[in-house]
Structure 1
Amino acid sequence: MSPKQQRGEATADLLLDTALAVYARGGERGFTVNAVTAASGVSFGSLYHHFGSFDGLAAALYLRCVDQLCDPVVAAVTRSRTARTGIRALVRAYLDFTRDHRDVALFLHGSAYSSYLAAHAKEVMAAKDAKFAPIGDWLRPRVASGEVAALPPHLIEILVMGPVAETAHRWLSSTYEVDLDEAARVLPDRIWRALRSD
């Protein structure tokens, strides 16, 4: 890689790191192009050169955050032998990630339906689907064998991720008193009971 390419990557990384810090500090209202360029010291022109727009920067940050979340969650599930241990591992991995990477989780939860991702919605959805595809591949034979209830994939996702995402969202909001340790003890088996075949 040439020195120019290295500088370009370093600038893009600086913008992404700064954007995450700006969001963590000021939330969606404080997440503006002016705030990111001021905090990073990178010019508007350079931001637009690397990401095309502020929405492009937000989409790139969202995808980087998805990667950071997905890797430990997918690993936790796919190394599990049974459906029960896999579902339990998924719940715990997601809640552990939320606790250990609060800023990343905050951006993911706060930005999922934001206007600044709308222009890149198809790209974001395709990337998320690809990253989480190994979980679907792991789950399909367990549904076919009767270990997991034969439900449409989107309903399985809702049954698993609904309670987990809501727990994380409430913990991140600081409005509710949510104990992640308690949730990690209670939710895995409760969610598994909703999924197992009767």
Structure 2
Amino acid sequence: MSPKQTRGTETARRLLDAALAVHEQDGPGGFTVPAVTAASGISLGSLYHHYGSFDGLAAALYQRCMAELLDTLVAALERTRTPHTGVRAVVRAYLRFVAEHPAQARFIHASAYAGYLPAHAAAIAASKAPRIGRMLAWLAPHVRSGQIVDLPAPLVEMLLIGPVAELSRRWLAGADIDLAAAERLLPDRIWASLRAD
């Protein structure tokens, strides 16, 4: 990589880091172009050069945070062998990610209804697809063997991740939820929803 490319990569990373810090400190209302350029020390022109727009920067940050979360889930899942231990590992890994990386988790969950997502949906889907694909590929033999319910992939994904995502969203918003208790209680309940009877 040339020095110019290295500088460009570093600038892009600094912008993403600053954007995450601004969002965590000031919330969605304070997540603005001036705040991010001030926090990063990088010009508006450089932001537009690397991301095309502020929405492009936000979409790139969402992709980065989501990739970190999904990589955590895939790693936890692929360390297991049985469908029961796999489902439990995913649920626990999600909750631990939220507890250990609240800024990333908050950005993911705050972005769910953000205006920039539809415009960047194809790039976001392309970033998520290989990771979700690995999770579904791990689950597939257990579906074929009759241990996991045979449902369309999006429904399996919703049963596995949906409850944990909603609980996390509420916890991140300040609800009185005990994550440690959730980590103890939810894995078996989610496994029960996915287990073929």
**TM beyond 0.5:** yes
Aligned twin of 2:132:
132
Partner Cα distance (2:102, 2:26) in 1:
14
Residues 51 and 57 of structure 2 are in contact (CA less than 8 Å); yes or no, is this contact kept in structure 1? yes
SS at match of 1:96: helix
Unaligned runs of 5+ in 2: none
Q: How many pairs are equivalent?
A: 197
Partner Cα distance (2:119, 2:180) in 1:
37
State yes or no: 1:144 paired with 2:144. yes
State yes or no: 1:95 paired with 2:78. no
Partner Cα distance (1:32, 1:88) in 2:
38
Partner Cα distance (1:161, 1:67) in 2:
15
- In the TM superposition, 1:93-172 aligns within 5 A as 93-172=93-172
Task: Give the structure-2-normalised TM-score.
Answer: 0.96
Unaligned runs of 5+ in 1: none
List 4+ stretches of structure 1 deviating above 2 A: none
Partner Cα distance (2:131, 2:113) in 1:
19
Aligned twin of 2:5:
5
State yes or no: 1:28 paired with 2:39. no
2:41 corresponds to which letter in structure 1? G
Task: Give the structure-1-normalised TM-score.
Answer: 0.96
Partner Cα distance (2:193, 2:103) in 1:
30
**What's the CA shift for 1:161?**
1.4
Partner Cα distance (2:170, 2:44) in 1:
35
Instruction: Show CA shifts across 1:3-22 (max 9, x none).
Output: 22111111111100000001
Residues 67 and 127 of structure 2 are in contact (CA less than 8 Å); yes or no, is this contact kept in structure 1? no
**What's the CA shift for 1:112?**
2.5
Partner Cα distance (2:131, 2:177) in 1:
28
**What's the CA shift for 1:126?**
2.1
Instruction: Show CA shifts across 1:145-189 (max 9, x none).
Output: 001111222221121212100111111011x10110000000000
